[in-house]
């Protein structure tokens, strides 16, 4: 996910994307706990995507 794509989204879209990413992170952690996750780097990628969305949301709310 690119920051330029996120900046074009509205606050409502970003909030829904954040909720979606958090549920995906939960599922990835669950899969990792029961040893069904093929690539554990997906967890780190998901966390970084969450951070990007939160940063863009914070920037939009500051304006």
Q: Per-domain residue ranges for the chain?
A: 3-62
| Residues in Cβ contact with 29 at an 8 Å cutoff, skipping those fewer than 6 apart | 43
Q: Can you give the pTM of this predicted structure?
A: 0.91
Residue 1 is predicted with a pLDDT of 73
Q: Each residue of 5-53: pLDDT tens digit?
A: 999 999 999 999 999 999 999 999 999 999 999 999 999 999 999 999 9
Contact in structure between 28 and 42 (CB atoms under 8 Å): yes
Whether the per-residue pLDDT at 63 is higher than 80: the answer is no
Predicted pLDDT of residue 2? 86
Tell the CATH topology of 3-62.
Helix Hairpins (1.10.287)
């Amino acid at each position: 996910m690119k920051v330029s794509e996120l900046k074009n989204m509205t606050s409502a879209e970003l909030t829904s994307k954040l909720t979606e990413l958090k549920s995906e992170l939960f599922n990835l952690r669950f899969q990792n706990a029961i040893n069904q996750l093929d690539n554990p780097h997906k967890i780190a990628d998901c966390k970084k995507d969450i951070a990007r969305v939160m940063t863009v949301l914070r920037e939009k709310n500051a304006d």
